[in-house]
Amino acid sequence: MIGSHRFRKGQDPSTYKRSLPKNLRSTSWQSFLYRGGDVIFATWVGLICAVPPCYMQTDFQSPVEAAELKLAQAVVPIPPHAVNPLNPDVPDDLLESDRPNLLQAIDHSIQYIRTPSAASRYPIAGISRDLMERSLLRFRRLVQVSRTAKDLQQAVNREFDLYRSVGRDGTGAVQFTGYYEPVYKASRTRTGEFQYPLYRLPADFNQWRSPHPTRAMLEGSKQLAGLEIAWLSDRFQAFLVHVQGSARFELPDGNLLTVGYAGKTDQPYRSVGAELVRDGKMRLEDVTLQTLIEYFKKNPQDLNTYLNRNPSFVFFRETNGRPATGSIGLPVSAERSIATDKKIFPSGGIALIRTEIPFENPTTGKLELHQVQRFVLDQDTGGAIKGAGRVDIFMGTGDRAKQRAGLIKGDGELYYLVLKK
């Protein structure tokens, strides 16, 4: 059990790693340790990755990651003599099928980069806002005119410099996970079937005294009465909407209701999965989103205990059918938007990722992981996405996106593209 191998404050991570059973001695475990000695692995199963900025203020950092938050050290230019990571034999795997989607994602980044918010975030890693805007405009043109993915890659090689994330350990190793936008059934009014509410942001929220009430306090009082925005039939589903930060709801009359993040209390996020493992209710290697859903279906008496151990609480707003929105305030694009730590990475920037993504086997219908190399836009963030060693990929909306997102949990590489000066 992981409880018998607690990471002690001040303990050297490598010493802790050697103390683990052989099946747990993975270098990726360093990214699951956070300050104070608990194990955080909910990012692995998509239970902490939010459609930001839901948990942007949550302080879950490993000792390694905390050191990585130094602005100038997270992204470094690739020296001219280094091996070019743009493997010509592995071009962008999605370009031929989703060029319009990539162009739309680029347009969202261009729209963002011209805002006052972007002006306050740049320069970052030595990259100015003007240079990033010119990079986005030129990259958009290359995506438009390149006949094939290989042509695009060759053009990028000629015209762009690459900056590499130093990763979680200084060697460039980056852990990838996936997140998605759920679709659930819901009602605008409380009924016998729909009993579990999501709430609008209170009008006086900015005047609330800190620390804010916990989840248990808010759900156990009538403080939020009248602010219900939607009612769900499953309490754990409602909790997952808090985690993901946005959702689409099918209403009984056939209409669609969409909600997005409006604000959160100043209480920290705490992983339900980690709490179950700590109490010996589940084994760490068995934890997935699906196993958590199944656990609470079989053990509904535990819902109150474990959901209330997460004191954080999220408020929502109606988005009138708008798609899921990232931390830059614009829609995220399926498989083309990523979430990173915006303290150290360029918001709206062009990135190249190399990792494994699940695809459906046309013969068996099963999802299988395949290595990909593709261009993405950095348009989101999340509470567990801290330091240079973490990236979350937005996989889209609905059940299939959920299934695919839950399988992304491997290492890879992250690069940023900047137009040559």
Q: Which domains are present in the chain?
A: 71-178+328-419 (2.40.40.10), 180-318 (2.40.240.50)
Nearest to 23 by CA among 52, 2, 47: 2
Note the pLDDT of residue 84.
Answer: 78
Q: Kindly state the average pLDDT of the residues 305-319.
A: 95
Q: What is the DSSP letter of 288?
A: -
The order of strands in the sheet holding 228-232 is 196-199, 228-232, 183-187, 246-250, 256-264, 314-318
Distance CA 323, CA 320 (A): 9
What's the mean pLDDT when you consider all of the chain? 83
Q: What is the pLDDT of residue 245?
A: 81
Read off the pTM.
0.74
pLDDT tens, residue by residue, 174-232: 999 898 888 999 999 999 999 999 999 999 999 999 999 999 999 999 999 999 999 99
Range with the poorest average pLDDT among 167-171, 195-199, 273-277, 388-392: 167-171
Predicted confidence (pLDDT) at residue 323 exceeds the cutoff of 70: yes
User: Is 421 in contact with 370 (CB distance < 8 Å)?
Assistant: no
At 135-172, the pLDDT tens digits run 999 999 999 999 999 999 999 999 999 999 999 888 89
pLDDT at 52: 33
pLDDT of 19 higher than 60: no
pLDDT greater at residue 59 or residue 225? 225
Collapsing DSSP to helix, strand or coil, 228 comes out as strand
Q: Tell me: pLDDT of 61 over 70.
A: no
| Structural tokens at position 53 | 């900025």
Q: Looking at residue 187, what is its pLDDT?
A: 98
Q: Give percent above pLDDT 70 in the chain.
A: 82
Amino acid at 114: R
Nearest to 409 by CA among 7, 32, 156: 32
Average pLDDT estimate for 356-371: 94
Q: Which of 71, 173, 171, 92 is nearest to 139 (CA)?
A: 92
